[in-house]
Amino acid sequence: MRLLVGLGNPGAKYARNRHNIGFMAADAIASAHGFSPWRAKFQGEIAEGRLGDDKVLLLKPATYMNLSGDSVRAAAAFYKLAPADIIVFHDEIDLAPGKVRIKTGGGTAGHNGIRSIGAHIGPEFTRVRLGVGHPGHKDLVSPYVLGDFAKSEEGWLADLLDGIADGAQALAAGDSAGFLDRVALRRAPPEPRPSRPPLADTPPAPDDRSLLQKLADRFR
């Protein structure tokens, strides 16, 4: 079984925040793959379903970002899951908007949700880092990530979420490269091959036979 966790803050006022892109990723997977309706459990909301051969639990902690580990620990303990079974989607300011990277273990890069999860279950879980861009100065980070995506960002955001949904089965199966390929195809679909121009009608070759030859050939 896999536990896929989307990080964010609960409540309508946070719903479109950059910090809530993890929630958006979880919602996209649930919707695209016919998961059960969301219901309250493990100090959060869960939805159950399958991705290929894998049974999957989606979790959106309702503890607010800084205490995300409380919810993740509760779900992991109930299902007896190891950190290697857990995949967490979260915003990443050190990546350009729409860029995606995957890593297992390592530091938190200042992300409070990742820090909280690591404190509860250890660092060896998989992180899907979803780029939202950087405001340019560290003093602007908090209002930036707690601000809504701009209308001009909605195009790449929709493509990214569609790509995450497309690649979710590969991700659950441990195929990180396959997942990233699906995301890349949504964000930059291959250009269609140019169609060949129609062949021009070839004019008939001139008939250089004499009249006598034409008559002879006609009655052969």
Q: What is the pLDDT along the chain (220 residues), one digit of tens a residue?
A: 999 999 999 999 999 999 999 999 999 999 999 999 999 999 999 999 999 999 999 999 999 999 999 999 999 999 999 999 999 999 999 999 999 999 999 999 899 999 999 999 999 999 999 999 999 999 999 999 999 999 999 999 999 999 999 999 999 999 999 999 999 999 886 666 666 665 555 566 667 666 556 655 665 6
Q: Is the dihedral of CA 139, 145, 172, 41 positive or negative?
A: positive
Place of tokens 């190891």: 82
Q: Which domains does the chain have, with CATH numbers?
A: 2-187 (3.40.50.1470)
Please tell me whether residue 26 adopts helix, strand or coil conformation. helix
- Catalytic, 19? Answer yes
Say what the pLDDT of residue 188 is: 80
Which residues lie below 8 Å from residue 195, measured CB to CB, with a gap of 6+? none
Q: Which two tokens stand for residue 179?
A: 């997942």
Q: Is the dihedral of CA 14, 20, 21, 27 positive or negative?
A: negative
Q: Is the dihedral of CA 207, 213, 218, 220 positive or negative?
A: negative
Query: Rounded to whole angstroms, how far apart are CA atoms 29 and 35?
Result: 8
